[in-house]
Structure 1
Amino acid sequence: MLNFDLITVFFLVLIRMASFVFSCPLYAVPGIPPLVKAGLSFILAALVTPMVMPPSPEFPGGTWGFAVAALSEAGVGLALGLVCTFVFNAIRIAGQLLDFQIGFAMAAVMDPLSGSMNTLLSRFLFFMTLVLFMNVDGHHALIRALVKSYELVPLTAAGINGQVTLLIIRIFTDTFALAVQICAPVVAVLVITDLAMGLIGKTAPQLNIFQLGFPLKIAVGVSALAILLPALTSLFKYMFDTLQKDLLLLMKGLA
């Protein structure tokens, strides 16, 4: 005979898994077909379901009760994916600030991942961060955090309070602070370059500083980024550690 309680638990687990997989930037790369994401969600749900406690006896039955529980689980998965998006968007913002200073902002292209215009260094830094994140086994850490969420936030037990709202606002603001920390060294070098070109323009007015500035700033900006990129790995590691801490705080707040 069919165990309807087990089937209900499986579908609720699947909804949270699918919401996270389709919203997390790591698994939402456009090159991954939707069928692969759905299959990954199904396999993870099938593996996790035996370890998940069934809903409490107070679980409301009927179609409306299941619909409310499904919306709750989808909200938990989307909230976890939103936190990951905020942290990874710090890389995008840092790249866009660098492109604006260097002059690559005029070469913005449409990014199907975010549905907005993205610049060259923004895409480069974002995909480099994804590769580095997978190199340190971050994708498995996200899956472990998602499995851990069923212990901290049992099925149908999620709730939103002021603590969760303040946490999301804090993560959102920290995104911009982290973006400034990432691009600050290169921006400082570019500001010094602008000052130097301004002084040269005053001392040698016959030089076309405006025409000379574009290739010079590109060369200085890319060279400074290449030199400072190994030093930024420690900052990326801090970003990954912050992501895990924020996910843990969010799950505790939703419980």
Structure 2
Amino acid sequence: MLNYDQAAVFILILIRISAFLAAGPLFVFPNVPQTAKAGLALALTVVLFPVVASPSFHVPGGLLGFGLLAAREAATGLAIGFVTGLVFQSLTIAGQIMDIQMGFYMANLFDPMMGQQATITSRFLYLLGMVLFFILDGHHVLIAALAKSFDLVPLDGLALTGAGTLAVIRVFAQTVALGVQIAAPVVAVVLIVNICLGLLGRTAPEMNVFMLGFPLQIGLGLLTLSVMAPLLGVVFRSLAQLMESNLYIVLKGMH
């Protein structure tokens, strides 16, 4: 005999996981087939249902109560996906800052995978971060955090409090700060180059410093980025750990 409360639990879990996959970093590319997203959401729901389901759970308020619970679960999944995706946005911010300093910011390109305009370095760092994310088993961390979210925020336990909003704001501010810190070596090198070119322009006014500055900024900026590349693995390992801790902080603020 069909247990309607358990069927409602299954649907609510599916809604949270589907919202997470829609907003999270795993399937951010629009050319990923919708059937793949739906299949993974259903598979994760089947795996997590025996762990999350509670025999004492009862849907309050009938159909209207179920609709409110479904909206809460969608909001919870979107929040989890948004927070986890901010780590990759810090890499995008860092790349955009580097492009501004090196002179690549005007050379935007259309990224067919994302369906939008992107700068060269920001897209490189984003894709590199995605590769490192899977190499470091970050997707396993996300699945474990998604399962843990049902303990921190139960199916009927979402509460939009000031603590949760403040946690999201802090995570967002931290993302911008991380982007600036990652781009700091390139910014420092280009700044030193500009200072030297300014002094050179004062001492040798006949030299075309403006034309000399463009290739010099690009060359030294790319050289600095190539020196930084081997260290990005260590940086992103720290970012993955920070993503997990930020996710738990936000989830605790939502309960």
TM-score (norm 1): 0.94
The answer for the alignment partner of 1:240 in structure 2 is: 240
Cα deviation code 1:117-143 (max 9, x no counterpart) = 321000000110110111000011101
Q: Structure 1 residues 29 and 148, CA, compared in 2 at 3 Å: closer, same or farther?
A: same
The answer for the alignment partner of 1:25 in structure 2 is: 25
SS of 2:105 mapped into structure 1 = helix
The answer for the alignment partner of 2:159 in structure 1 is: 159
Q: Structure 1 residues 46 and 57, CA, compared in 2 at 3 Å: closer, same or farther?
A: closer
The answer for the alignment partner of 1:200 in structure 2 is: 200
Higher mean alpha-carbon deviation, 226-235 vs 160-169, is at 226-235
Higher mean alpha-carbon deviation, 163-172 vs 82-91, is at 82-91
Higher mean alpha-carbon deviation, 56-65 vs 169-178, is at 56-65
Asked if 1:212 is matched to 2:203, the reply is no
The answer for the alignment partner of 2:145 in structure 1 is: 145
CA contact (8 A) 2:108 2:118 kept: yes
Q: Structure 1 residues 202 and 106, CA, compared in 2 at 3 Å: closer, same or farther?
A: same
CA contact (8 A) 1:54 1:155 kept: no
The answer for the alignment partner of 2:42 in structure 1 is: 42
The one-letter amino acid of 1:189's match is V
The answer for the alignment partner of 1:230 in structure 2 is: 230
Tell me how far 1:195 sits from its aligned partner.
1.2
Tell me how far 1:58 sits from its aligned partner.
5.8
CA contact (8 A) 2:5 2:58 kept: no
Size of the aligned set, in residue pairs, is 255
The one-letter amino acid of 1:126's match is Y
The answer for the alignment partner of 1:134 in structure 2 is: 134
* Structure 1: runs of 5 or more not aligned: none
Report the Cα distance in structure 2 between the residues aligned to 1:187 and 1:43, rounded to whole angstroms. 45
Report the Cα distance in structure 2 between the residues aligned to 1:222 and 1:169, rounded to whole angstroms. 33
* Structure 2: runs of 5 or more not aligned: none
CA contact (8 A) 1:9 1:55 kept: no
Tell me how far 1:207 sits from its aligned partner.
2.2
Report the Cα distance in structure 1 between the residues aligned to 2:83 and 2:220, rounded to whole angstroms. 34
Tell me how far 1:112 sits from its aligned partner.
6.2
The one-letter amino acid of 2:218's match is I
Report the Cα distance in structure 2 between the residues aligned to 1:58 and 1:6, rounded to whole angstroms. 8
Tell me how far 1:157 sits from its aligned partner.
1.3
Report the Cα distance in structure 2 between the residues aligned to 1:122 and 1:85, rounded to whole angstroms. 15
TM-score (norm 2): 0.94
The one-letter amino acid of 2:232's match is L
Tell me how far 1:115 sits from its aligned partner.
6.3
CA contact (8 A) 1:5 1:54 kept: no
The answer for the alignment partner of 2:84 in structure 1 is: 84
Report the Cα distance in structure 1 between the residues aligned to 2:36 and 2:57, rounded to whole angstroms. 35
CA contact (8 A) 2:5 2:57 kept: no
Higher mean alpha-carbon deviation, 50-59 vs 95-104, is at 50-59
Q: CA RMSD for the aligned pairs?
A: 1.8
CA contact (8 A) 1:28 1:113 kept: no
Tell me how far 1:23 sits from its aligned partner.
0.3
CA contact (8 A) 2:29 2:114 kept: no
The answer for the alignment partner of 2:9 in structure 1 is: 9
The answer for the alignment partner of 2:175 in structure 1 is: 175
Cα deviation code 1:143-166 (max 9, x no counterpart) = 110011112211121111111111
Percent identical residues: 45
Report the Cα distance in structure 1 between the residues aligned to 2:195 and 2:203, rounded to whole angstroms. 12
